[in-house]
Amino acid sequence: MVRPVGLVLAASLLLAAGPPAGPMLGFGPLSAARERVNEGLFLDLPSAQGALDHLDTLGARPHYDGTRADRAIAEYARDRLAEYGFDARIEPFQTEVQTPYKLVLELYADGQVYRPRDGFHKAHGTPGIGLDLRESGDPRDPATLDPAVGLPFNAGSGDGNLNAPLVYANRGLPGDFAALRGARVDVRGAVVLIRYGAAYRGQLAHNAQDAGAAGVVFYNDPADDGYARGATIPAGPWRPTQSVQRGSLGPGIHIPVLPTSADNARILLRALHGAAGPAGWAGALDAPYPVGKGPAVVHLQVIMNHRTATLWNTVGVLHGTLPTESVVVGAHRDAWVYGVGDNGAGTSTLLETARGLGYLARSGWRPRRTIVVALWDGEEIGLRGSSAYALAHAAELRRGCVAYVNADENVTGPTFGTAAVGALAPAIVDATRAVSDPARDVSTLHDRWSAQPHGIDVRTVGGGSDHEAFLFGFGTPVAEIGFNGPFGPYHSGYDTVLYASTFSDPGLVLHRTAAQLFGIVAMRLADADAVPYSFAAYVPVLQSGFVQLQERAQRDGRTLDLSALRGAIDRFAAAARRTDDGLVYGAGPGTERALMVAQTIDGLAYGADGYASLSFPQLAKAYATSDATAFAAALDDTRASLDRATAALNGVPAAPG
């Protein structure tokens, strides 16, 4: 094993051999040299076989929230983290968990609801067609045939038992309901059939509920995820027509909502009459996609079990020399069924990262800032685990958590990508230079990324995963990193080890690469002399939000005086550039001030509308009210916050307010 003296000697030899590969954000020259030696040792430690071993355990049984299998995986993860040298524990919390009690979907194609004969009346109508709600499996993948897979459902659905006319509502967006109203198709009291994919499913259900619909049936159309896009499972990565996407809806849904297969959607669509819809209205099924109501009637029944259950976050801590400062890397480990891609990929990645970091720590390395590996429960039903952790650890997170880096569905294909707030984006881009591309021995992950169609493109952070509790709760800088591609088994029983090893990542080499990158990012954030934020990287985000607000006002015919906001952005930009010049050489404003600035800008610049990102959320909310006084107050508050952040970067005590 390499002892600390060996690390110092190796760093000295590296310096003697020549200059380092280039400045490393937040590190002085000697610290950067030591860091590169430690990273070189770490990179050999995560393995594809280790990732596969974890996936075999994670994908052995369905492990929906609150089940025995869910608890068993929490314990497995705890034991692995302890084995790797982390201070490992399970943090239980309680939350509501829903499971289906009764689910029914029947079709009366002629619109006549069947009434059986009784002692006083003859039978009326024709018995309905009971649609099979099960997700039929594939004999070539025995896991998909396990009865434990269960019936698909939407957590957060309202209870209901109704007979109602059926209406196809395309993608369920406000414009689709407007098109139906324009065609004099009344969705009030109807069950609407909606294609998944245009927005977060909870938003789509709210749109239907707001339009007066009595119920919703969701499905994945092959035009969006299926045979119209390419070969389907088992021949390719796209969704087969018998597969069903589960998912949570969030709060506020009172009507019954049920997911079903494209096979069932075809049966429902063939029972509808009406005129053809506008461009983009039809999908790819062999069925009409009419703008009309009925004549088909559906019997929709959704009754949910509601119980308070104990769930389990698994947390591993590698203590640093600065105990009040921390870096958190996280992934959720609960799943709708097997969840090998969502999110066994993230869980196995971080366990391999932890294995490498733990080995390095046993060899004598100790991070400056504490590194926390967190494996969340309850993400699939509403980000419950990360929210519970944020509530329990609020003071320490607000005071000293310099970053949260998330791994969610992080290996579903070969295309690399990341989403990050401005502060973290350059450090992540630079970290990709330290990791080899598994497809090309002499290339780096950075080279792979550069060669992709959009090149080095760091996406803006939105919503929908466990970073929300950190970013929107405390302003903690966050990032999400991973490889993506077509992912047909999303939230279905087809998300198995066989699928992952056949389509997402043959050989599990991308899992290894992801584990390497997460480790390098965590090490740099933890070891840097000055927190390796780039404040200038916030400037394009602020400027883009400013332009969006300006253009929105022009479209709406509203006059806004945004000159004060423009001035505040310009002042921040100048201070940010000066600060970044020092960070290249390991000098910075200090963790307390750097974190204060990042938290302030994150709170101003980033918001979410479902999965989508939302710029200047406070201003957007005030703008939507059409209250000029409220908008002026929000604008002044935003300008003042920006100026406080600028003063902090300049080392000037800012006036409270």
DSSP conformation letters of 416-460? EEEEE-TTTHHHHHHHGGGSEETTEEEEEHHHHHHHSTT-S-EEP
Q: Is residue 103, in this structure, part of any structural domain at all? A: yes
Position 17 scores a pLDDT of 32
Which two three-digit tokens encode residue 241? 């027509």
Question: CA-CA distance, 444 to 450, in Å (whole number)?
Answer: 10
Which two three-digit tokens encode residue 323? 């105990």
Nearest to 153 by CA among 378, 303, 309: 303
Beta-carbon neighbour count of residue 423 at 10 Å?
28
HSE-up of residue 278 (Cα within 13 Å, Cβ side): 11
Q: Is residue 261, in this structure, part of any structural domain at all? A: yes
The letter for the amino acid at 65 is: D
Position 167 scores a pLDDT of 98
Local structure of 282: helix, strand or coil: coil
Q: Is residue 451, in this structure, part of any structural domain at all? A: no
In this structure, the dihedral spanned by the alpha carbons of residues 422, 485, 336 and 259, taken in order and rounded to 10 degrees, is 110
Long-range Cβ contacts of 502-506 (<8 Å, 24+ apart): 502/234, 503/233, 503/236, 503/237, 503/413, 504/237, 504/341, 504/345, 504/411, 504/412, 504/413, 505/345, 505/411
Q: Is residue 285, in this structure, part of any structural domain at all? A: yes
270: enclosing H helix or E strand: none
Question: CA-CA distance, 418 to 457, in Å (whole number)?
Answer: 8
Domain that holds residue 614: 538-649
CA angle 401, 54, 503 (to 5 degrees): 100
Beta-carbon neighbour count of residue 654 at 10 Å?
15
Position 606 scores a pLDDT of 93
Question: Positive or negative, the Cα torsion across 188, 305, 374, 596?
Answer: positive
Question: Positive or negative, the Cα torsion across 371, 375, 380, 383?
Answer: negative
Q: How far is CA 226 from the centre of its chain?
A: 22
Local structure of 261: helix, strand or coil: coil
Is the backbone of residue 339 left (phi > 0), alpha (psi -120 to 50) or beta? left
DSSP state letter for 145: G
Local structure of 328: helix, strand or coil: strand
Burial of 183 (0-12, 13-18, 19+ CB in 10 A): middle
Question: Positive or negative, the Cα torsion across 266, 246, 248, 459?
Answer: negative
Position 85 scores a pLDDT of 97
Q: Tell which of 254, 289, 307 closes a domain.
A: 307
Q: Which residues of the chain are modeled with pLDDT < 70?
A: 1-21, 114, 116-125, 652-657
* Residue 606: CATH number of its domain: 1.20.930
Q: Is residue 520, in this structure, part of any structural domain at all? A: no
Question: CA-CA distance, 64 to 151, in Å (whole number)?
Answer: 12
Which two three-digit tokens encode residue 439? 């497809």
Taking only the tens place, the pLDDT of each residue in 296-306 is 999 999 999 99
Non-local CB neighbours of 234 within 8 Å, separated by 6+ positions = 138, 140, 141, 502
Q: Is residue 478, in this structure, part of any structural domain at all? A: no
C-beta separation of 113 from 125 below 8 A: yes
Q: Is residue 562, in this structure, part of any structural domain at all? A: yes
The letter for the amino acid at 600 is: T
Which two three-digit tokens encode residue 284? 């790819």
Q: Tell which of 277, 307, 337 closes a domain.
A: 307
Indicate the number of domains in the chain.
2
Position 588 scores a pLDDT of 82
Which two three-digit tokens encode residue 127? 């018995």
Question: Positive or negative, the Cα torsion across 455, 412, 155, 219?
Answer: positive
Question: CA-CA distance, 148 to 69, in Å (whole number)?
Answer: 11
C-beta separation of 479 from 418 below 8 A: yes
Instruction: Output the CA–CA distances (angstroms, integers) from residue 539 to 517, 573, 646, in the order listed.
Output: 26, 6, 12
Question: CA-CA distance, 284 to 173, in Å (whole number)?
Answer: 19
Non-local CB neighbours of 11 within 8 Å, separated by 6+ positions = 30, 33, 34, 37
Q: Is residue 160, in this structure, part of any structural domain at all? A: yes
* Residue 129: CATH number of its domain: 3.50.30.30
Q: Tell which of 290, 307, 324 closes a domain.
A: 307
What phi and psi values does residue 294 have, to the nearest 5 degrees? 70, -160
Taking only the tens place, the pLDDT of each residue in 100-120 is 999 999 999 988 876 766 666
Question: CA-CA distance, 585 to 530, in Å (whole number)?
Answer: 9
